[in-house]
A and B are shown apart, each in its own frame.
Chain A
Amino acid sequence: MKYALYLGCTIQSDQYGFEASVRETLPKLDVELVDMEDTSCCGFPALSSVSVTGWHYLSARNLAITEKMGLDVLPLCNGCHLSFIETIHALEEDPRLKEIVNRNLEKEGLRYEGTAKVVHLIEVLHDAVGKEGISEKVKKRLEGVKLAAHPGCHAIRPSDLQKVDDAENPQKLDTLIKALGAETFDYPEKIDCCGSQLAVSSGRSTLRIAGEKLQAVQSYGFEGLVTTCPFCFKMYDSRQRAIRGAMRDRSIEVPVFYYTQILGLALGSSPEKLGLQMNQSPVDDIVNKILGDD
């Protein structure tokens, strides 16, 4: 298994815990990652809202680079993943748009054919490596830890364009959590939005949308929340203090992890190598519980 690794703006700018834990864990599961050169933003949501053509140009541009590399691409961010999928679809449907894109790509020495496949991290881990492939490499089982799965909107919808997991009943992230020995179960708010995209126009509403979900997660007895989306992670982890303020609820205390961070702990990696020192939510108790006596 070998993929071109596409980071995108958010991860390469400040979500180092995600990037570090992906680079630490995937090779341990025999997944080779090749860094990309010459990349740019995928266009979502910056350009999709103001210039649909500009958005598709940027996504097609990154896809053209992976075509040149002869590799399928793994965009780590949920937003970039859906952006690439939407562009592939749009360029298939509209040959004129594809022509406009290629006429411009030529000036950058690139060409988009539509041959590269886009894979999601959940697909790589669940479908390619598989739960057995993960379980057999687990050194520290996460026994007795109850974690809520939050796949994030752009990993599961819209079902007419992508099939990472079932849009209404996603189970793959749950399976991946269980593969580490941890417990998880369904909850009503599982496929609800984190609200982060609303931050551009209404800060308070965005915090309330996220806060209601964190309150629910806590009320079901989950000890932490697990995601693979950088936008959702920033919302629930980095803004948790602000969420507490907006909700006027000081009892909100939910440790938030990237899946690859808990995967790494289970595979025996140190918390530092997984970037866990940068999580802003209170993760220490769970990390210590997993590490045990070490």
Chain B
Amino acid sequence: MVIRLSSDVDQRQVEFISLMLQKSVGGMHAEVCDQCGKCSSACPVSKEIEGFNPRQLIARVALGKIDELLADEAIWTCTTCLKCRERCPEEISPYDVILVLRNLAYRAGLNYPGVYDDFINGILERGFISEPQEVRARGGGRLSREALGLPGVNGPKDMAVFRGIVEKIIEAGKGN
């Protein structure tokens, strides 16, 4: 597989990207994907967002246009519905390729939806993305877990150790 990347992504990242892509898409190249379009016809996002099309995405990967894809905001619009993976007659999974591209874009310091930082911070602070809310009742008023008799929520016992581990794993190999 040919990996072409613009010069602002360093060589270490290029090597890492090649490795991850090879691992996830194996020997995939243009001849393997027949461009039949079953993935795109099943894709809920393709119907709504121009510029997102799993069939074309696979073609671009096969042509080695990785740098272009990594910078494309479209890779962040996949709903992870997995229909493309389910229906591909060649067992190529656009979903898994997208997941790899997202990981790589994040590592290469390219644009990604800011909400992911909130997710990560939540996990590092309390073990979970979100914390218990008081939920609106249809007839008015708000209800807490306690008011509903639901047990308290407890995160990792030793938050400092947990945070250290997860932080290190996320940061490992991230290029800045």
Contact = CB atoms under 8 A, between A and B. Distances in A.
B49 A205 contact: yes
Contacts of A35: 151
A250 B143 CA distance: 28
B44 A192 contact: yes
Interface of A: 7, 9-10, 12-14, 16, 19-20, 23, 35, 37-41, 45-54, 57-58, 104, 107-108, 153-154, 157-159, 167-168, 191-193, 195-198, 200-202, 205-206, 208-209, 275, 277-280, 283
B103 A52 contact: yes
Interface centre among B44, B102, B112, B127 (most CB of A within 10 A): B44
B77 A202 contact: yes
B86 A14 contact: no
A10 B133 CA distance: 10
A54 B81 CA distance: 21
A104 B165 contact: yes
B161 A108 contact: yes
Contacts of B65: none
Given A40-B123, A153-B80, A13 B132 contact: yes
Nearest to B115: A200
B135 A209 contact: no
B116 A280 contact: no
A37 B157 contact: yes
Given A16-B150, A200-B76, A278-B143, A158 B82 contact: yes
A14 B165 CA distance: 27
B138 A280 contact: yes
A14 B133 contact: yes
Interface stretch (B26-34, B54-62, B166-174): B166-174
Contacts of B78: 197
B155 interface: yes
A24 B157 CA distance: 28
Given A9-B129, A40-B128, A54-B170, A198 B83 contact: no
B89 interface: no
A45 B113 CA distance: 13
Given A52-B99, A53-B172, A37 B158 contact: no
Interface residues of B, number: 61
A58 B106 CA distance: 19
Contact of B106 (A37, A39, A50, A191): A50
B169 A51 contact: yes
Given A35-B151, A52-B103, A209 B79 contact: yes
A22 to B, nearest CB: 11
Contacts of A205: 45, 48-49, 77
Interface in B124-176: 127-133, 135-139, 143, 145, 148-151, 153-158, 161-162, 165-166, 169-170, 172
B48 A54 contact: no
A37 B154 contact: yes
B120 interface: yes
Contacts of A38: 154-157
18 contacts: A7-B153, A12-B132, A13-B132, A16-B145, A38-B156, A40-B155, A46-B116, A49-B102, A52-B99, A57-B165, A153-B81, A154-B80, A154-B82, A157-B85, A193-B79, A195-B79, A197-B78, A209-B47
A47 B49 contact: no
A158 B153 CA distance: 31
Given A157-B83, A202-B49, A278-B138, A16 B143 contact: yes
A158 B86 contact: yes
A191 B139 CA distance: 32
Contacts of A48: 99
B67 interface: no
A201 B113 contact: yes
A201 B132 CA distance: 24
Given A104-B169, A108-B165, A200-B113, A39 B127 contact: yes
Nearest to B114: A200
Contacts of A46: 116, 119-120, 122-123, 129
Contacts of B135: 14, 16, 278
Given A47-B123, A278-B137, 20 more contacts: A9-B129, A14-B132, A14-B133, A14-B135, A16-B135, A16-B143, A35-B151, A38-B154, A38-B155, A40-B162, A49-B106, A53-B169, A154-B80, A168-B86, A191-B83, A197-B78, A200-B76, A202-B49, A209-B79, A277-B138
